[in-house]
């Protein structure tokens, strides 16, 4: 999210530099390669998260509740989509108003996705702190190995 915020900041600076802030359909002269680091890191993190969650729910749920553990694993992705939509709605309502553009303005050269990415970075840091706390206090279910 930090990389995405920095890239978006660069996008806004470039739009100002070339006088494209009030030209919503104009192409900002930036290379598409600016997006590669954030997408690459996001996909790598996504893979490790999905595999780690699946392994956790498969390994730590009692044998008689394996299907329930798999359902919990899959429900996390559904909740993620609902929470994402809710957060976007809250930010849109909180940042829009008469005479001002919201963070999600229709004009991408006036929008402030960088602020939203910084918000997501802060929320991710808080979630990581919560993860560290719960991971530290979690008692791992060790099964007898053969």
Domains of the chain: total: 1
Report if residue 144 sits inside a domain: no
Residue 97 — φ and ψ, nearest 5°? Answer: 175, 175
Report if residue 105 sits inside a domain: yes
pLDDT at 91: 97
Question: Which mean pLDDT values do the consecutive 10-residue runs of the chain (146 residues) have?
Answer: 96 96 91 95 92 86 83 89 96 92 92 96 97 92 61
Report if residue 13 sits inside a domain: yes
Altogether, the residues listed in the chain come to a count of 146
DSSP string, 69-129: HHHHHHHHHHHHHHHHHHHHHHHHHHH-BTTB--TT-SSTTT--HHHHHHHHHHHHHHHHH
Report if residue 73 sits inside a domain: yes
pTM of the model as a whole: 0.87
pLDDT at 143: 65
With beta carbons less than 8 A apart as the criterion, state whether 116 and 91 touch. yes
Longest CA span, the chain: 69
Report if residue 143 sits inside a domain: no
Report if residue 21 sits inside a domain: yes
Report if residue 108 sits inside a domain: yes
With beta carbons less than 8 A apart as the criterion, state whether 20 and 26 touch. yes
């Amino acid at each position: 999210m930090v990389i995405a915020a920095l890239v978006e900041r660069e996008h806004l600076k470039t739009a100002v530099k070339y006088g494209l802030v009030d030209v919503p359909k104009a192409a900002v002269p930036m290379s598409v390669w600016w997006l590669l680091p954030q997408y690459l890191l996001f996909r790598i993190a996504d893979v490790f998260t999905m595999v780690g969650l699946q392994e956790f729910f498969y390994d730590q749920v009692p044998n008689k509740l394996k299907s329930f553990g798999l359902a919990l694993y899959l429900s996390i992705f559904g909740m993620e989509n609902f929470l994402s939509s809710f957060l976007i709605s809250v930010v849109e309502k909180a940042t829009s108003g008469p005479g001002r553009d919201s963070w999600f303005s229709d004009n991408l050269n006036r929008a402030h996705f960088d602020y939203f990415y910084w918000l997501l970075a802060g929320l991710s840091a808080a979630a990581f702190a919560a993860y560290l706390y719960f991971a530290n206090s979690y008692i791992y279910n060790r099964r007898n190995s053969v």
